[in-house]
Amino acid sequence: MKINGNSLRVGNIIEHKGHLWVAVKTQHTQPGKGGAYLQVELKNLRDGTKLNERFRSSESVERVRLDEVPYQFLFSDDDMHTFMDSESFEQISLTSEIVGTNSLKYLQEGIPFTLQIYEGEVVSVSPPKTIILEVVEADSVVKGQTASSSYKPSILENGMRLLVPPHISAGTKVIVRTEDDVYLERYKES
């Protein structure tokens, strides 16, 4: 679907120079001389390389729609990671390169992921927005620190380092926002 170069927004996926790109940042610029343009930072969906492009209102770009299919992570075998379609139970194995570094750290058996598919080919894998992980190691609280602004380092069950509030100790489950690896809250079992 062709769209105007100026109407590109963050998160839009376009086909440009023979590759699929996602718009990461956009900024409208109107210089003193010449026409206005949209400065866009693009990220390649396949290899993660970045590209800065200028799109004028007279240009059009090809916006791409991806099919998003829910899959469940099953297991990893070296560099291959196997997912199962939640509806058809069909299994698919993907390389670490396709899964991506952000999703790799959240691979746990049974976790639901979203696979983005373009023309029958998986182009990216997205973890859920939040995930529950157990703290396996947490530094002790330094006496005299105030609880409001001090966070302490911890290590989660997947090996990831995370800053958590002083009241969190080893064995506690926490909710992590996967988009930027940030502690949200303590997990309360119901």
HEC string of the chain equals: CEEEHHHCCCCCEEEECCEEEEEEEEEEECCCCCCCEEEEEEEECCCCCEEEEEEECCCEEEECCCEEEEEEEEEEECCEEEEEECCCCCEEEEEHHHHCHHHHCCCCCCCEEEEEEECCEEEEEECCCEEEEEEEEECCCCCCCCCCCCCEEEEECCCCEEEECCCCCCCCEEEEECCCCEEEEECCCC
pLDDT at 148: 54
Q: What is the pTM of this model?
A: 0.74
Q: Do 2-63 and 67-126 show the same overall fold?
A: no
Looking at residue 142, its pLDDT comes to 65
- 10-residue mean pLDDT series, the chain (190 residues): 83 87 87 86 83 89 89 93 92 89 88 90 89 90 62 91 90 91 89
Look-up of token digits 């409208």: 28
Backbone phi, psi, residue 143, to 5°? -60, 135
Which residues contact residue 127 at a Cβ distance below 8 angstroms, ignoring those fewer than 6 apart?
102, 103, 106, 111, 113, 178
Question: What's phi and psi for 149, nearest 5 deg?
Answer: -115, -5
Write down the architecture of domain 67-126 according to CATH: Beta Barrel (2.40)
**Alpha-carbon span 171 to 79, nearest angstrom:** 29
Report the topology of domain 2-63: SH3 type barrels. (2.30.30)
Question: 168 near 135, Cβ under 8 Å?
Answer: yes
Q: What is the pLDDT of residue 136?
A: 93
Strand ranges of the sheet holding 182-186, from the earlier edge strand across to the other edge? 161-164, 152-156, 130-138, 173-177, 182-186
Q: Which CATH number fits domain 130-186: 3.40.50.300, 4.10.910.10, 1.10.3720.10, 2.40.50.140?
A: 2.40.50.140
State the pLDDT at residue 184: 93
Domain ranges in the chain?
Answer: 2-63, 67-126, 130-186
